Amino acid sequence: MAAVDALGRIDHAAAAQEEGRRHGARSTSGPDSTGINSILSCLRSFYAAGRPTSINRAAARACRTDMTFLPVPAWIVRLWPNFALDARYAATLAVLVAAYVGFAKIGFALAFATKQVTAVWPPAGIAVAAFLLMGGRAWPGVWLGAFIGNAMSDEPMLTAAGIATGNTLGPLFGAVLLRRLVAFDNGLARLRDVLGLVGLGACLAMCVTATNGVLNLAASGIIPWSAFASVWWVWWAGDAMGVLLVAPVVLTWASKPAVAWRRMRLAELTALLLALLIAASFSFTISLPLAYPVFPFIIWMALRFEQRETASAIILVSAIAIWGTIHDLGPFASGSLDQRLILLTTFMAVLAVTGLVLGAITAERRRAEESLERARDQLEVHVRHRTAELAEANAGLVAANRALSVRTAELAGKNDEVEEARHQAEQARIVAESASQAKSEFLTRMSHELRTPLNAIMGFAQLFQLGRGGKLSATQQEFSDQICSSGQYLLRIIDEMLDMSAIEAGRMKISVARVSAAGALESVRSSMATIAADKGVAVTVEPIPASLHVRADEFRLRQILTNLLSNAIKYNRQGGSVTLAARAMTDDSARFSVADTGNGIDPVHHPYIFEPFNRAGSEYSTIEGTGLGLSLAKRLAELMEGRIAFVSTPSMGSTFWVDLPVDPEHEPAVEGGSEAAIRPVAMTGS
């Protein structure tokens, strides 16, 4: 990062800093500018040469001599002409230098209240991506781009060179760690690639650039040593965000070939990007604390598209968030400069980690499904091949028996071959079933992996709420609440995914016991009372006999009823009502019902209402949800030897019910037939 990016991050008032900057300002016509001219002259010579045999070796020696003013080891300087012998390589370095300098200007353009304070330093991401794509050969372009970027900020030449060295070594260190410890894949298609980029490439490696940069500033007198910690933190945060936002975009687009999308796929992507742009613009162009509307679209992008589309969407939202915060708009527009920077950086980190981690998990699951498909295809081919062999063998046996009266021993040998073929087919079937089981186990492990970074994010947000980072204002407290609320929503999604995978894998444990019907409904009603009141929906419980008990897992029963009541409240109308009831049936079962006065469900969606990830009418609704709740409720009811069903009329409302076995100690008081016991309530609604 250019040193000027850190100067204004100390608190606006350091008089010594201003004097240091005036003292460190350089003239454009000093002896150091001769060194830059020599470097550019050498590059032009390498361009003109084209081939290694055409290089003027005297010019190369002069270039090496002119570069001795740079603070790099002599062996690196000696390697420069050898690297530059290739015209294509020299052209690549020129593009890298131009990109580094161009993104440095963009970084300055994203400044906050003063010129120097930025929330993200894009060249750090460019440097890490360059080393991952080109290897160590990228160092001349990274160093020269960093040197020019720092030189443009009116710093002394030696200071600029020292900072450029750190800005080169930090990304190189991160790239080496990623290659050796993670076996990094540039496509970010695995969870360990994303976590490695976050932990090693962004958090750890950028400590090198921040430490080196601040040491150079302090040693040259541009900043006081007392400001070391504050400048270091902001420098590191800007570099880390640059890696987290820019590097994934460069890596994914550079490592994947162009895709010819189908028309519907392209239309979906266009609509999603447009919706994301509208949501981000709405959130960060008004003075309301609404940062979370963009998360459903990022999750949608991660689930439906590749990592490059997800990374592009993340950097688009981050750019809008930075622009709005710079112009005092959006949820991070109030508070001091440091507070706004912390909130904005936290938001972008949560956004990037959530999108990239979920995208990596989706990609791994997609690969697992493709592997399962290939295994199934191979099994079918193998079975067909073996069946044909068996048919041919059988025909040969029949012909041989008729012509030669084949002996029983010979036929027994053929039967052995048949048995062997059947055995191989059975083994192939077992392998296919194991692959299906592995898919469910994979989803469980990946959901646990997703909880780790999410818990860390929520933990830091809760520390802010507890005042560990200083007393928060009311607005900051509200922002922290928003972060925690969004994190809790993501945790609920993860828990639902874990429950679904546990059921599919046969690992869901049900503890059946005697449960009071009245107690279960009253507990669910009281837990949702605040949400219902905020929505303006009245929730009532019909009288229930105290003797009515069921055989069920109390926790899972409440989970089912909470899901049904939550849906009844969310999809209800303003001023509507929800009625909870429980009664005994004729078939030794008890029925829990949840009736609402909402808009109802279109009959076309009825056959698919309990399928995973299906949301009836979701294209017309902005209500949050994943489509897992009803599917999970159905699976849980079946595990408790029950069933779930519903009736719904458009514009009138819906009634969902769960039938569970009555506890043997209870004598059911029958109130009618199994279907007559529940009738759609008289409802009115829009």
* Burial of 530 (C-beta count, 10 Å sphere; 0-12/13-18/19+): exposed
CATH fold of 513-661, please?
Heat Shock Protein 90 (3.30.565)
Residue 31, C-beta contacts closer than 8 angstroms, at least 6 positions apart: none
Same fold, 4-26+93-255 and 513-661: no
Which residue stretches of the chain have pLDDT < 50? 1-79, 81-85, 113-117, 406, 620, 667-686
Question: Which tokens hold the place of 40?
Answer: 């550019």
Architecture of domain 4-26+93-255: Orthogonal Bundle (1.10)
* pTM as predicted: 0.45
Three-class SS state of 26: coil
Residue 261, C-beta contacts closer than 8 angstroms, at least 6 positions apart: 269
**Residue of 71, 348, 317 whose CA lies nearest to 202:** 348
Pairing mode, strands 538-541 and 577-584: parallel
Question: In angstroms, rounded to a whole number, what is the distance separating the alpha carbons of residues 164 and 503?
Answer: 55
Q: How many CA atoms lie within 13 A of 650 on its CB side?
A: 7
Per-residue pLDDT, 270: 87
DSSP label of 618:
G
**Residue of 655, 519, 651, 540 whose CA lies nearest to 595:** 655
Question: In angstroms, rounded to a whole number, what is the distance separating the alpha carbons of residues 122 and 103?
Answer: 6
The one-letter amino acid code at 645 reads: A
Per-residue pLDDT, 408: 58
CB atoms within 10 A of CB 576: 23
The one-letter amino acid code at 68 reads: T
Distances in whole angstroms, Cα of residue 645 to Cα of each of 518, 564, 610, 660: 20, 11, 9, 12
Residue 107 in contact with residue 2, Cβ under 8 Å? yes
* Burial of 511 (C-beta count, 10 Å sphere; 0-12/13-18/19+): exposed
| Residue 473 backbone dihedrals phi, psi, to 5 degrees | -75, 175
What is the Cα 659 distance to its own chain's centre? 38
Three-class SS state of 341: helix
Question: In angstroms, rounded to a whole number, what is the distance separating the alpha carbons of residues 304 and 71?
Answer: 48
Question: Which tokens hold the place of 299?
Answer: 């999750």
SS3 string of 166-197?
HHHHHHHHHHHHHHHHHCCCCCCCCHHHHHHH
Pairing mode, strands 577-584 and 589-596: antiparallel
The average confidence (pLDDT) of the chain is: 76
DSSP label of 94:
H
Q: Pinpoint the alpha helices (H) of 468-553.
A: 474-505, 517-527, 529-535
Delimit the domains of the chain by residue range: 4-26+93-255, 513-661
